[in-house]
Amino acid sequence: MLHEAATPDITVSAIDIADRIIAMVDKQLAAVRGETQFSVKSAFRTLLSTQDQRRVFLYVCSNINAWPYLILHFGAPPYNFLEPGDASQMRAAGISHSRTNMSTVDVCVSSSASQFGCGQFIDNTGRRYRSSSRLPNVSVAWSLPDMPVAQGVVQIEVNVATKTHPRSTRLQRGITRHLPFPRVGEVLELSYTPEMKRFQLAYEFTLPIHTMPVSVQVRRIVKSANRNVTAALFVSLLAK
């Protein structure tokens, strides 16, 4: 487990969550079925910061028996959480035969839509948000409500792609539509996504439940050239 490596820049809570995700991988490798309520991929993308995603991925890759399951647990490469030097450790085609790059070639400020996951927060329009890095002065990436108002501006990500409602007509069902990106100066009221709430109540992840919603104001938005539904937002937390 990650506890065995003395890594001072990971908080205890982040290590604990990473260990639980690794334990989920170990259970599946040992053919233990029915003992986890969530997929590794869902927990990996929702609960971990980009830094901790990289650490978990490299730890799992150190076990050769896990290689056939990498695409199941982490999706197909390229991975936005890997650094350029990590690409030499494994061939992308070994995970997915149609892929050639392990890490994203271009510098991207936000995750791709496929690697964004379900998100940690949602606003009243249906846009989803996640914190890709450990927020200052809080224990884990998604503890935005714990951040002091005086902290200043922090970076989160937004995904504006949303599926039509399941009760839509048959022709409309499952169609993805794009909501507008938040505007600079806009105040967002963020609540936990339904998926995040389920993680908080699950026995695998005994996570603290914070008072929500939380209000943030958009200070800056940065889009990458090759991202049409995700972007980086710089926001400040507003007093309740």
CB 120 within 8 A of CB 195: no
**Cβ neighbours of residue 37 under 8 Å, at least 6 residues apart?**
198, 202, 203, 204
Residue 143, SS3?
A: coil
CB 122 within 8 A of CB 191: yes
State the DSSP code for 114: H
pLDDT by 10s per residue, the chain, length 240: 444 433 333 343 666 778 888 888 887 777 654 444 457 888 888 888 888 888 889 888 888 888 888 888 888 888 888 887 776 777 777 777 777 777 775 555 677 777 888 888 999 999 999 887 655 555 555 566 666 555 678 888 999 987 655 454 454 455 567 899 999 999 999 998 888 888 777 655 656 556 668 889 999 998 876 668 889 899 988 876
Distance CA(79)–CA(104), nearest Å, equals 6
CB 120 within 8 A of CB 129: yes
Global pTM reads: 0.74
CB 48 within 8 A of CB 18: yes
**Cβ neighbours of residue 143 under 8 Å, at least 6 residues apart?**
135, 208, 210
Distance CA(130)–CA(157), nearest Å, equals 5
List the domain boundaries for the chain: 2-94, 113-237
Query: What are the DSSP E strand ranges found in 81-142?
Result: 121-122, 128-130
Q: Which residues pair with 216 in a beta bridge?
A: 188, 237
Distance CA(107)–CA(91), nearest Å, equals 20
Strand 214-222 versus strand 187-192 pairing type: antiparallel
Q: Which tokens belong to 63?
A: 């076990």
